[in-house]
Every structure is written in C-alpha cells, then in structure tokens.
Chain A
Amino acid sequence: MLGFHAISEQPFSTVEFIGELIVQFQSIIPIEIQAQVNPNIRTLDWIIQLNNDWTLANNNTVWHIKCQ
C-alpha cells in the first residue's frame, strides 16, 4: 500500500512521569498613607503678671503677658 500507514492497531505505550509545575502568582494590594500635617499643637500656658506698680487707683496698669 502506498503511503504511510499505522504500524500497529494498538496505541504506543505511554511513559508515566511525575510532572510538577512550579507556578508563581503576584498580587498587588493597594494601600494609601495619610500624613498628619500638624499634630503637635501644644496648649500654651499663659501667665498674666501684674506689674509691681499696679495700684487700685492707677488706670495705667501695665499688663505683662508671656507664655511658657
């Protein structure tokens, strides 16, 4: 018979092997960061100090105000 033809009616024997495929998957997890701009607002301790020359009759009282 002309041309190729099967050499056997039976299929070729298969060779068993243990195939283990190495796989890698990458995942992107979105994350945002906020930045605190001015968290260090401190309360100020104000001291109101009456000047030594303060008198009840004196309308020219001088107030010294300072913070510490």
Chain B
Amino acid sequence: MSIVASDIVIYSSQNMPQDDLTVAGGDINSGIRVVFDDIVTTGVMSAVSSSASDTGNLTVIGRDNVGIIQTDTFQLNGTTPVNGTQVFERILSCSTSTVSVGTVAISGTALVGNIYPTESGFLRPFYGATANAAGGANKVLYEKVFVKNNSTTNALLNATVEEIGSGLYSIMQFGLEKSQNYTESVANRLTAPTGVTSYGSGVSGVADTNIAPLSAQGTWLQLTLNAGTPASNSFYQLQIAGGTT
C-alpha cells in the first residue's frame, strides 16, 4: 500500500523544554505529536474516544482570554463526549494520563487534534519562548522534532523536507540531523546541536536518502527571536515529500 498522509507524522522529542534552562532534544517521543489545529473560537474543550476503554484523565493546557496559562483536567468517558470547564483562547498541549486505546478527538467548535491509539497527546514546540524587548539580547532557540514514517510496509523514497513560506517562516529554519533516529540532546534550547550541519528553508534531502518503515528523521527547529520581536500566535509549516510505490 502506498504511503498516505497519515503515515508521515511529526512527533516531539523526549525533551521539549518549557524554559531556556532545561535539556532539549534526545530521542523521539512517538506518543506526542506536534501537529494540531489551534482553536479558532474561544471556548471550552470537549473530548470523545472511539473506544469505550478510554476513561483516563485528559489534561488540556492553554491560555485563557487574558493570556494566563490555565490547566483543565477532566475524565474521558469512552465514546460519550465530555466537556471541560475552562475557557481557552489558544491551546498549548493536550495529554492523556494513559496511552489511548481508541482515537481521542479533542475539539472546540471544530476538531483541534486527535490522540491516536498507543499515543498520549500533542503539544506546541517552543513553549514559553519569549523575545526580549528592544534593546535587550537577541536569542536563537533550538527544539527538536522527528519526521516519522509510520508505514510498516513502505519507505518514503528520496524523501525531502521543505519549509512552506507562511506563518513564522521568516524567523524560523530547520536543520536535519546527520543520520536518522539520531538522539542528540542539548543542555538547553539556547545551545545549538552539533549533529546538524546547516539550517535553511529550501528542499533538503533526508539523511540516508529514504525514510524506511518506522524510521524517523530528527529535525531541529531554529527560532530566531531578535529583541523587540512582537508576540504572536502562529505556526511553522513543513512539507515532507518523496516517492512511494
């Protein structure tokens, strides 16, 4: 069966720091994705699973309508939809207390994201990243994600990664690790990894040419925050391409 969109997933690394002091990167975390659709209308979240076995807690972290980070934890009730109580303006992360059995759909007025079987959530990279005010120091932050091929039967052939010119593209770049399934971490997200030779935005072939079934290409995201960079709620967009039989 050919590679389809659901086979190519961008996961977090084991260390996704919430400040500029703690470790970043490491191995892949195949339970946490970094791709979801943020809410478009301020409101509470709801969740429902495709499996009656999903009855653990769901924790939603986001900002309320005045910018304060809030946490809403509520219990899943299998295939019966349940609502949270906290009003969110944006979502930072969603996680279940145990790995999902079914697919847990988390929604506001529209679907925000799914937590898939054997996985436990999704999050936003660069949590809490803060630009200094004009006159302060510039920063360059690094956080690591993985482009994984979840197909068990097909490789993505001559795979490439490319930035799409939208969202934060003007202050972000990506760099591919020198080999797949590479596990480098850095002391903190202000420290550049050594396993990346260059950063850019154009089409870049992955290490080892193809992404084999269940293999993953480590990808460091580089965020440049010059002093005076305004606050924003935005996104970074990557395109993964290749051949499939």
Contacts and interface: CB of A to CB of B under 8 A. Distances in A.
Interface stretch (B29-37, B75-83, B95-103): B29-37
A47 to B, nearest CB: 25
Contact of B126 (A24, A31, A37, A39): A31
Contact of B167 (A28, A37, A38): A28
A31 B240 contact: no
A21 interface: yes
B212 interface: no
B90 A28 contact: no
Interface residues of A, number: 23
Contacts of A28: 35, 37, 167, 235-237
A20 B157 CA distance: 9
Interface string A36-68: 111110000000000000000000000000000
B241 A25 contact: yes
A19 interface: yes
Contacts of A14: none
Interface of B: 2-5, 8, 10, 34-38, 90-92, 124-126, 128-133, 135-136, 145, 156-157, 164, 167-168, 172, 221, 223, 225, 228-245
A8 interface: no
Interface of A: 18-40
A29 B238 contact: yes
Contact of A26 (B172, B228, B230, B239): B239
Contacts of A24: 239-241
A26 B239 CA distance: 4
A42 to B, nearest CB: 11
Contacts of B35: 27-29
A34 B244 contact: no
Contact of A40 (B128, B131, B135, B223): B135
Contacts of A34: 128-131, 231
Contact of A27 (B129, B156, B229, B238): B238
A23 B242 contact: yes
Nearest to A26: B239
Contact of A39 (B2, B136, B168, B235): B136
Given A24-B240, A26-B239, A31 B133 contact: no
Contacts of B91: 30
A59 B122 CA distance: 71
A30 B90 CA distance: 10
Contacts of A29: 10, 34-35, 124-125, 145, 221, 235-238
A18 B230 CA distance: 51
A32 B89 CA distance: 12
B234 A33 contact: yes
